[in-house]
């Protein structure tokens, strides 16, 4: 029997819509998965926010969080992330405060940053360049994989009771080795591609692809339309820190108007959730999480090239707070587990075409059935299209295989980043296979 791991696992769900099924089916699948995850011993069930994606139904995480919380009993429920700028801070506080009042000590509120800053933001991962965080406009940059995937490799950010118990090896040593790895140095069990993409490296068994920019100066029409429909304005990403502070202040009662007036936001005041900040780069989100002493969600599944830098930046800026005495990190991974490696690969067919639909700026397609996935993947990765380079980092860093193999890959991720938790997202056409993936991983990981 597998030995229980000291590192908790949590779930990130996008409410993916399988081909041939409705958005309602996808949302009901999310609720069903949350019930299963609770029974299997996962710590949290987080919901992403993505808009205008035919294949992703998770566009209203506050509403879906209420449905999930009502269907479960003990698992923590929350957003990863709530994209500030898509709402006013008061709306966020009242929405989450309503849930926190009904389900005390179970709510997590993850803050995600999106939109175009008024000026490029210095990225400490490379002193010679700057990146906007995110480089793409207001398309969502939370822990989820739809809009966030589009931003991920280009330098996007995304998105308290006890944050957790920590683990051996969770300190800065893991992330501190980010520059020391080389191809071929993987740990036992890590399934690193024999010929990873150009510029990739292997750090403590973890494949870290080369960073790349997805879009030129003109964003795809989908993102520009989304920004317009959500009322986003150029430069509103610069308000991220003040909006985070406002939301927290509504819960704690410390918010003051510009005239110094105290206000009471009911039912938020006195019912604070656990606050998180999510990010994909060594940029403003990572630094703000450290400055405020909040736990940080880093995105390997969205932006594997920058995960080590983002975690290191967070730790470098961390200041102890009432919420945390030491840095606390969860890192996401895209995972699909089956009884054996070949079965997992068969069930995972369609992933390349799904990522391709996102990264070309068209929006996530409904996730293909395995019988169609192989054909669509072949089309999406045809060398003459240039698509392999567009999606290589995402395809190569998805953990697909049998339980032991995937668990080894997750251990490599935890060791390289020093994460105190791991955040698992899984997508397959069949809900049964998706739930089974979480079941097999829970058993191998030793969750109770």
Is the sign of the CA dihedral 139, 142, 146, 148 positive or negative? positive
Say if 137 falls within a structural domain. Answer: yes
- Does residue 154 come out as left (phi exceeding 0), alpha (psi in the -120 to 50 range) or beta? alpha
What is the token pair recorded at 67? Answer: 């449905």
**Per-residue pLDDT, 253:** 97
Say if 2 falls within a structural domain. Answer: no
**Per-residue pLDDT, 144:** 58
> Residues 263-316: pLDDT tens digits?
999 999 999 999 999 999 999 999 999 999 999 999 999 999 999 999 999 999
User: How many CA atoms lie less than 13 Å away from 289 in the CB half-sphere?
Assistant: 36
The continuous run of DSSP H or E covering 107 comes out as strand 107-113
Say if 389 falls within a structural domain. Answer: yes
Say if 3 falls within a structural domain. Answer: no
Say if 262 falls within a structural domain. Answer: yes
What is the token pair recorded at 312? Answer: 């290191």
Q: Secondary structure of the chain: what % helix, strand, coil (to 5)? A: 40, 15, 45
Q: Rg of the chain over CA atoms, in angstroms?
A: 20
What average pLDDT is seen over the chain? 85
186 pLDDT tier (thresholds 50, 70, 90): very low
Say if 26 falls within a structural domain. Answer: yes
With CA atoms as reference, report the closest residue to 416 among 179, 198, 104. Answer: 179
User: How many CA atoms lie less than 13 Å away from 325 in the CB half-sphere?
Assistant: 4
The strand pair at 44-47 and 9-13 is best described as parallel
- Most confident among 108-117, 119-128, 211-220, 420-429 (mean pLDDT): 420-429
> Residues 78-118: pLDDT tens digits?
999 999 999 999 999 999 999 999 999 999 999 999 987 77
**Per-residue pLDDT, 177:** 38
> Residues 124-148: pLDDT tens digits?
433 322 222 333 333 344 565 443 4
What's the domain count of the chain? 1
194 pLDDT tier (thresholds 50, 70, 90): low
With CA atoms as reference, report the closest residue to 268 among 90, 75, 73. Answer: 90
**Per-residue pLDDT, 191:** 62
For the domain that residue 365 is a member of, what is the CATH number?
Answer: 3.20.20.30
- The total of other beta-carbon atoms located within 10 Å of residue 95's CB is 21
Question: Bridge-partner residues for 112, per DSSP?
Answer: 83
DSSP structure class, residue 159: -
**pLDDT at residue 181 above 80?**
no
Say if 59 falls within a structural domain. Answer: yes
Does the global pTM surpass 0.85?
yes
**Per-residue pLDDT, 320:** 98
- The total of other beta-carbon atoms located within 10 Å of residue 137's CB is 21
DSSP 361-427: TS-PPPBPPHHHHHHHHHHHT-GGGTHHHHHHHHHHTSEEE-HHHHHHHHHHHHHHHT-SEEEEE--
346 pLDDT tier (thresholds 50, 70, 90): very high
User: How many CA atoms lie less than 13 Å away from 320 in the CB half-sphere?
Assistant: 2
DSSP structure class, residue 305: G
**pLDDT at residue 364 above 50?**
yes
Domain limits at 215? Answer: 9-445
Say if 191 falls within a structural domain. Answer: yes
**Per-residue pLDDT, 142:** 56
Range of weakest confidence among 13-27, 185-199, 376-390, 434-448: 185-199
6 pLDDT tier (thresholds 50, 70, 90): confident
> Residues 144-175: pLDDT tens digits?
544 343 433 333 333 333 333 333 333 333 44
393 pLDDT tier (thresholds 50, 70, 90): very high
Q: Which parts of 215-367 fold into alpha helices (H)?
A: 221-229, 240-252, 284-292, 307-316, 341-347, 351-359
Q: How far apart are CA 34 and CA 24, in angstroms?
A: 16
């Amino acid at each position: 029997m597998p030995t229980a791991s000291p590192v908790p696992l949590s779930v990130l769900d996008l409410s993916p819509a399988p081909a041939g099924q409705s958005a309602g089916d996808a949302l009901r699948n999310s609720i069903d998965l949350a019930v299963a995850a609770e029974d299997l011993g996962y710590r949290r069930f987080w919901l992403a926010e993505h808009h205008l994606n035919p294949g992703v139904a998770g566009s209203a995480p506050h509403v879906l969080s209420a449905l999930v919380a009502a269907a479960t009993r003990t698992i923590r429920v929350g957003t990863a992330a709530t994209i500030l700028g898509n709402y006013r801070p008061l709306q966020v506080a009242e929405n989450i405060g309503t849930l926190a009042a009904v389900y005390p000590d179970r709510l997590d509120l993850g803050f995600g940053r999106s939109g175009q800053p008024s000026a490029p933001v210095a990225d400490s991962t490379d002193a010679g360049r700057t990146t906007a965080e995110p480089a793409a406009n207001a398309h969502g940059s939370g822990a989820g994989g739809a809009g966030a995937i589009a931003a991920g490799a280009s330098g996007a950010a995304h998105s308290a009771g006890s944050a957790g118990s920590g683990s051996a090896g969770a300190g800065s040593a893991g992330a501190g080795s980010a520059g020391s790895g080389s191809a071929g140095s993987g740990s036992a069990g890590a399934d690193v591609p024999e010929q990873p993409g150009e510029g990739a490296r292997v750090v403590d068994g973890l494949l870290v692809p080369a960073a790349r920019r997805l879009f030129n100066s003109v964003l795809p029409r989908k993102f520009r339309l989304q920004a317009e429909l959500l009322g986003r304005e150029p430069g509103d990403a610069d308000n991220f820190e003040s909006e985070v502070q406002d939301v927290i202040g509504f819960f704690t009662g410390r918010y003051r108007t510009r005239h110094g007036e105290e206000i009471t936001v009911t039912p938020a005041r006195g019912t604070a959730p656990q606050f998180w900040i999510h990010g994909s780069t060594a940029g403003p989100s990572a630094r703000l999480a450290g400055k405020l002493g909040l736990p940080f969600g880093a995105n390997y599944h969205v932006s594997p090239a920058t995960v080590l830098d983002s975690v290191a930046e967070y730790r470098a800026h961390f200041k102890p707070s009432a919420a945390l005495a030491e840095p606390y990190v969860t890192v996401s991974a895209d995972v699909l587990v089956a009884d054996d490696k070949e079965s997992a690969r068969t069930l995972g067919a369609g992933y390349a075409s799904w990522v391709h639909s996102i990264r070309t700026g068209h929006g996530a397609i409904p996730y293909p059935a395995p019988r169609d996935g192989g054909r669509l993947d072949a089309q999406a990765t045809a060398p003459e299209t240039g698509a392999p380079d567009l999606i290589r980092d995402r395809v190569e860093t998805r953990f697909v295989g049998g339980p032991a193999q995937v668990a080894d890959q997750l251990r490599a991720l935890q060791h390289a980043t020093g994460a105190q938790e791991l955040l698992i997202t899984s997508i397959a056409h069949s809900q049964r296979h998706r739930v089974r993936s979480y079941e097999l991983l829970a058993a191998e990981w030793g969750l109770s």
